[in-house]
Structure 1
Amino acid sequence: MVASTDYQFICSENYNAPSLGNAWGVLINVLDGCLVNGLTLPAINNVTSSGSQLTITFTTNHQLKMFQVLRLSGFVPTGLNGDFRIVGVPNAAAVVIESTVTTVTTIGNAILKPLGYEKSFAGPNKAVYRDKNVSAVYRPFLRVDNSLDPVYSDSYAKYAKVGVLENCAGIDDLSSTQIPFDADNPTKNWVGTGSGSSAYAGWAKWYYARSTDAYTAGADSDSSISGNRPWMIVGNSQGFYLVNPMKPSDSHKLLYGFGVYDLIDGVDATPYYLLATWDYATVGASRDFSVGQNCAPFYGNNCPAIIFNGVGVNTQVSVLAAHGLYDSGTINTYSNNFACMPFTLIANSYLMGVLPCLRYINKARSDAAYSTVAYSNMMYVIDLQLNNRRYAFNLGSL
């Protein structure tokens, strides 16, 4: 059976990966590369076949990972043009895919497949993304504002203000139903107020550059540290996760996300979710991301996702995952060789649904970031969160 190619992961170690540094707008570059455009790979030197497997050899080191997805084009025969899961990495210049094509007469090109989004609207260091499949039942808009707020200093911590909109007609159209939302302060998530260290600038945030790691207290008004951060984006056109630290070369990573969760039978809701740091405080306030309402998603007891129209509420509700939260990948709850479970979302005593792709690991593991695991005919990639906890992301059947 040919491995599925729906889910993709792309990381900072890949060839031509955008840098996530200490600047405004860099997160838009990362999202454009992973969600919309894909990453251009080195030229291909030759292609050889052995049974149902093709070995693709590049002219230089490809920096690809096991189980990533290639998009091939310009090949003859044309049956080799399309998306293919990497099922082998024999050396730094070659990868193996599965294909019915055995002879290649014209060598084409390869990119790392994007997750399948369109960039619906754009502005200076701003973007609105949505699933490019117009036939999809659910197509929420993700608005990302990675610009410098007028009330904020350029030297402060760097993050994007993020929100999910049901409808959007332009880059600054905020008239639609959205999450998060405060009826008493409709622009709370997007428009800064105040000045200096007493300013408020954003509510739902995806941080990537700060003066401290996510486990150490500090203020957004402290100067953020220069240098590039490691990152990974994993998911498909219906939703994705962003994993990154706030300091270079740091394992204390944050887990962010957006998309469509899988509804449980009998629940009538708009199944959109947003994982972010919920932080509406002055930029001079000291806080870390391991405790309280502003902690990292799914790390402690006060780290919810936000969803639309939870049962019993009108617009939005906080939800927590049903499993052991921040212990993922550190304790041997079960004896299975690779015990991992989906995150079930619970709100107001209702089982709302299941987060796609993300898996809680009931085993103590020591995998490095971006490690891949094949288990029970399924593919996984693993990354770290705060305090070296590990999460698995299910990439589909092998």
Structure 2
Amino acid sequence: MSNLVKHYQNSMKGIPQLTNTWGSMITLLDKILVEGFNFVSILSITKSTPDAITATINLGAGHGFIDRQVVRIDGATNGWNGDFKVLSANTDSVFIECLASHPQTVAGTARCSTAPLDFEIVFDTPSDSTQPKRAYRSTNPESLGLILLVHDFCVSGAAVNGTKFAKVGVVSAMSDIDNITGVQMPFDAQNSNANWGWDGTYHGWTKWYYRTYNNGNGGSSPDSTSALAGNSTYNIVGDGKSIVLDTMHSSFGAHAVYGFCEFYDQKLKSVNLALLASGSQLKVPQAYQYFYSWARGSYHLCNEAGSESVSGAGLKLNALIWFDENGVAKWSRAGRNFTFGTLDESQQFALVNFDFISTLPILDVNNSPRGVLPFLRISANQKTEISYSTGVGKYVNKYTAGEARKFVKYTVLLESL
């Protein structure tokens, strides 16, 4: 079954964890984007009638699959190979959606696994490399075919025991993992390695953080401060062309959302791409003191040009846009953020609190609407929870406020665009 939205969470069986160890993000992305995980032999598949559109996959105890995820069947010899949505999971089986044309039973030596998003690794470093790099690209023929380039190691001289993050960018072409031959985003013509290297002040540019210092809702810490031990909770969702990562990279509500998102650009009347990453608005020095741990995310709000202005917080979306308004591959920064709420007389956000979410528009640097981002929504709910909603499916709300003028509030849909 094609065009399924797939989601992942840190509690899934066999999924890699985001730990306080360099390389953790690439290890996770390899499984999510390309390889899949949790391969379990299928004991049987049964449909109640020959033309039923549901089936039960019998797997045995401890299979580890969960409600609403997407599983992949391979090794079948009678048409059962493919991806299927799990409607419900029991101790020893899963109940899936299928087609009336699927056989009533399975033939062959079939197995079931958590389905990946079907990207490919165009170039990479050896598996034992101490400087892991990946060039991922969607295999969907309708995608733009752009490469998500990821470096996940500490460049020599930078703070190896500090915060952990993957340096990320978008490129159009490469000759190998170390040589970019096409357009890249972001890019500084005066310093071609600005997004990937260490110059004594800046350790990379646009980043996906996955483990940070435990500064909670107050205090401050630079990237050089040692990160908190343990694993980060996360949710990931994608459709084979786009991916969104929601993570809590420390504790006390250190939420961050990142993305590699294709979207319909209403100005171009065609597809564009946005990279959501910390540092998109301004490069942040390694020694910069982040006042709030969640300020390292891409979607957050700050109504003052104070302590967080250098981090690109402000009222800007920390995102980069690939095509300009003329359809030229010339990257630019996104414009204003959106939120539910108003400013009171002291210029603080008066928060609303009701169960409502809306699409997240992306504006260009001139604050001109370009489209809406997949999977992401503006949230008016102050709770942090995973729940179900008719017509929306599974979703996660994230809300944290250090004080009224600085907060993060968004929703990630896990089953639909």
RMSD over aligned CA atoms reads 2.9
For 2:329 and 2:318, how far apart are their aligned partners in 1? 18
The residue type equivalent to 2:229 in the other structure is S
The answer to whether the 8 Å contact 1:11/1:233 transfers is: yes
Structure 1 pair 290/227, CA: closer, same or farther in 2 (3 Å)?
closer
For 2:3 and 2:323, how far apart are their aligned partners in 1? 31
Structure 1 window deviating more from structure 2 (357-366 vs 182-191): it is 357-366
For 1:277 and 1:203, how far apart are their aligned partners in 2? 8
Give the match for residue 225 of structure 1.
Answer: 228
Structure 1 pair 281/393, CA: closer, same or farther in 2 (3 Å)?
same
1:193: how far off? Answer: 0.7
* Deviation by residue 1:58-115 (Cα, 9 ceiling, x = unmatched): 2233333322111112235x232211111123x3433210233333455621111101
For 1:252 and 1:229, how far apart are their aligned partners in 2? 10
- Unpaired runs of 5+ residues, structure 1, are none
Give the match for residue 245 of structure 2.
Answer: 242
Give the match for residue 79 of structure 1.
Answer: 79
Give the match for residue 309 of structure 2.
Answer: none
* Deviation by residue 1:162-190 (Cα, 9 ceiling, x = unmatched): 10112222111234221112233332111
The answer to whether the 8 Å contact 2:38/2:114 transfers is: yes
- In the alignment, is residue 187 of structure 1 matched against residue 185 of structure 2? no
TM norm structure 2 = 0.80
The answer to whether the 8 Å contact 2:143/2:241 transfers is: no
1:154: how far off? Answer: 2.0
Give the match for residue 339 of structure 2.
Answer: 324
For 1:88 and 1:153, how far apart are their aligned partners in 2? 45
For 1:274 and 1:45, how far apart are their aligned partners in 2? 42
1:332: how far off? Answer: 4.4
Give the match for residue 322 of structure 2.
Answer: 308
The residue type equivalent to 1:26 in the other structure is S
For 2:341 and 2:277, how far apart are their aligned partners in 1? 16
Give the match for residue 307 of structure 2.
Answer: none
Give the match for residue 7 of structure 2.
Answer: 9
For 2:397 and 2:215, how far apart are their aligned partners in 1? 17
The answer to whether the 8 Å contact 2:336/2:367 transfers is: no
Structure 1 pair 214/258, CA: closer, same or farther in 2 (3 Å)?
farther
The answer to whether the 8 Å contact 2:162/2:226 transfers is: yes
For 1:63 and 1:274, how far apart are their aligned partners in 2? 32
The answer to whether the 8 Å contact 1:141/1:166 transfers is: yes
Corresponding residue to 1:132 among 134, 139, 142: 139
- The percent of aligned pairs where both chains have the same amino acid is 26
**How many equivalent residue pairs?**
374
Structure 1 pair 239/22, CA: closer, same or farther in 2 (3 Å)?
same
1:268: how far off? Answer: 6.3
Structure 1 pair 380/165, CA: closer, same or farther in 2 (3 Å)?
same
**Map 1:1-398 → 2, pairs under 5 A:** 5-51=3-49, 52=52, 53-75=54-76, 78-89=78-89, 91-99=90-98, 100=100, 101-106=103-108, 108-123=110-125, 124=129, 125-133=132-140, 135-194=141-200, 199-213=201-215, 215-216=217-218, 217-247=220-250, 251-264=253-266, 266-267=267-268, 271-278=272-279, 280-289=283-292, 295-300=296-301, 301-311=315-325, 315-320=330-335, 323-324=338-339, 331-332=352-353, 339-347=356-364, 348-363=366-381, 365=383, 367-368=385-386, 371=387, 373-376=388-391, 378-384=392-398, 386-387=400-401, 389-393=409-413, 395-396=415-416
Q: Secondary structure at the match of 1:80?
A: coil
For 2:382 and 2:248, how far apart are their aligned partners in 1? 21
For 1:178 and 1:26, how far apart are their aligned partners in 2? 24
Structure 1 pair 18/177, CA: closer, same or farther in 2 (3 Å)?
same
For 2:215 and 2:248, how far apart are their aligned partners in 1? 7
Structure 1 pair 156/82, CA: closer, same or farther in 2 (3 Å)?
same
The residue type equivalent to 1:143 in the other structure is L
The residue type equivalent to 1:80 in the other structure is W
TM norm structure 1 = 0.84
Q: Secondary structure at the match of 2:104?
A: coil
For 2:271 and 2:183, how far apart are their aligned partners in 1? 11
1:241: how far off? Answer: 0.8
Deviant stretches of 4+, over 6 Å: none
The residue type equivalent to 1:136 in the other structure is E
The answer to whether the 8 Å contact 1:365/1:390 transfers is: no
